[in-house]
């Protein structure tokens, strides 16, 4: 990562590429007990949040990620009522989940409260549903929370984490997946951000293997565009307990009672059509 007087540039060693933003200034910088957080103002992408040198979100394109981390899984589940979000400190995922009227409770567990407090100041639109009575915000260890969760107490677990290093490293292994499996009811679904399929397909393959290894009946990766992340192409991976994936509630998705900027029933159908190299590698 480098920041000159008017550009922030993040280098991606694994993909041999970089992405940059023209900035007008640094709005905040903090070293928390867990990570280093920076907020920049940009000329064209709104505000930019950077954690440990890696782009986390921009005002301009975060809707792609937040909508794809929530609406596909919630419209795939038959009746999602009780939801847990691991990570998600910027609260954009929480906002999207709470758009679903059938959801009765959402608990968000992020280890670093400062991410949320900075989001409230610099990305207030993402935090507009934080006071919803169905929502509970906890600042704690998400790995421990899932390990201690009551069996069969959740319908959906959403893992909205940073890359699999540092505080998020323990979210990408069989032990964590086993905790999620135990906490989900029959038919429950785990969804996790799963990096770029273009350069990190081996990680996605490992996720599928370990999710199935702890008992999930089916796994599926949905790719989607994400300009601010390495390669501009991202993904989320779903794992279902006790039943194969058999489509989604397409009628409900087509008649959703809320506005989105990217997600709709057609986008959902399209994301299920995996590219050939992903089908060959993942066996889906």
Distance separating alpha carbons of residues 228 and 232, to the nearest angstrom: 6
4 against 129, higher pLDDT: 129
Residues 136 and 181 in one domain: yes
Query: Where are the extended beta strands (E) located within the chain?
Result: 2-3, 7-12, 17-31, 36-42, 47-51, 54-58, 82-87, 105-109, 135-138, 154-160, 184-193, 218-225, 233-240
Reported as type and span, the H/E element at residue 63 is helix 62-68
Residue 1: predicted pLDDT: 46
The mean per-residue pLDDT over the stretch 151-164 comes to 89
Residue 4: predicted pLDDT: 56
What are the pLDDT digits (tens) for 81-91? 999 999 999 99
Residue 167: predicted pLDDT: 54
Residue 183 in this model has a pLDDT that exceeds 90: yes
What would the DSSP string read from start to end of 207-218? HHHHHHHTT-SE
Which of 40, 58, 76 represents a domain boundary (last residue)?
Answer: 58
CATH code of the domain in which 168 resides? 3.40.50.150
Residues 38 and 133 in one domain: no
Residues 128 and 46 in one domain: no
Distance separating alpha carbons of residues 157 and 35, to the nearest angstrom: 24
Close Cβ partners of 197 (under 8 Å, ≥ 6 residues apart): 204, 221, 223, 233, 235, 275, 278
Residue 162: predicted pLDDT: 63
Residues 173 and 40 in one domain: no
Residues 108 and 72 in one domain: yes
Residues 162 and 206 in one domain: yes
Distance separating alpha carbons of residues 72 and 221, to the nearest angstrom: 11
Distance separating alpha carbons of residues 157 and 74, to the nearest angstrom: 10
Residues 266 and 146 in one domain: yes
Which of 58, 80, 100 represents a domain boundary (last residue)?
Answer: 58
Beta bridge partners of 224: 234
Residue 171 in this model has a pLDDT that exceeds 80: no
Residues 69 and 25 in one domain: no
Residues 190 and 272 in one domain: yes
Domain that holds residue 37: 2-58
Strands 135-138 and 154-160: unpaired
Give me the torsion for CA of 69, 153, 115, 194, rounded to 10°.
-40
| CA distances (Å), origin 75, targets 79, 94, 178, 284 | 8, 16, 23, 20
pTM for this model (two decimals): 0.95
Give the pair of three-digit tokens for residue 221: 């990766």
Residues 190 and 215 in one domain: yes
Give 272's Cβ-side CA count (13 Å radius). Answer: 16
Residue 163: predicted pLDDT: 63
| Catalytic machinery residues | 160
Residue 154 in this model has a pLDDT that exceeds 70: yes
Residue 5: predicted pLDDT: 72
Which of 18, 41, 58 represents a domain boundary (last residue)?
Answer: 58
Residues 6 and 124 in one domain: no
Residue 3 in this model has a pLDDT that exceeds 90: no
Residue 169 in this model has a pLDDT that exceeds 70: no
The mean pLDDT of the chain is 94
If one counts the domains in the chain, the total is 2
What are the pLDDT digits (tens) for 23-71? 999 999 999 999 999 999 999 999 999 999 999 999 999 999 999 999 9
What are the pLDDT digits (tens) for 198-229? 999 999 999 999 999 999 999 999 999 999 99
CATH code of the domain in which 36 resides? 2.30.140.10
Residues 48 and 67 in one domain: no
């Amino acid at each position: 990562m480098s920041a000159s007087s008017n550009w922030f540039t993040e280098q991606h060693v694994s993909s041999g590429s970089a992405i940059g933003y023209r900035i007008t200034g640094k709005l905040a910088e903090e070293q928390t007990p867990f990570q280093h957080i920076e907020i920049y103002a940009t000329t064209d992408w709104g505000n930019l949040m950077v954690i440990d040198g890696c782009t986390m979100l921009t005002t301009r394109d975060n809707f792609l990620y937040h909508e794809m981390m929530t609406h596909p899984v919630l419209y795939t589940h038959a009746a999602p009522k009780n939801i847990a979000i691991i990570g998600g400190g910027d609260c954009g995922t929480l906002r999207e989940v709470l758009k679903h009227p059938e959801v009765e409770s959402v608990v968000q567990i992020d280890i670093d409260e400062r991410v949320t407090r900075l989001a409230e100041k610099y990305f207030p639109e993402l935090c507009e549903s934080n006071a919803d009575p169905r929502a509970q915000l906890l600042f704690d260890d998400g790995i421990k929370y899932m390990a201690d969760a009551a069996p069969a107490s959740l319908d959906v677990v959403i893992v909205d984490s940073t890359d699999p290093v540092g505080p998020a490293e323990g979210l990408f292994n069989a032990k964590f997946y086993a905790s999620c499996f135990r906490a989900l009811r029959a038919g429950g679904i785990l969804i996790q951000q799963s990096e770029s399929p273009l350069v990190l397909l081996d990680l996605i393959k490992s996720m599928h293997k370990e999710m199935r290894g702890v008992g999930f009946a089916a796994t599926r990766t949905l790719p989607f565009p994400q300009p601010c992340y390495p390669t501009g192409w991202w993904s989320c991976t779903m794992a279902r307990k006790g039943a194969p994936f058999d489509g989604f509630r397409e009628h409900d998705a087509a008649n959703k009672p809320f506005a989105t900027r990217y997600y709709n029933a057609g986008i959902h159908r399209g994301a299920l059509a995996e590219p050939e190299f992903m089908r060959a590698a993942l066996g889906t």
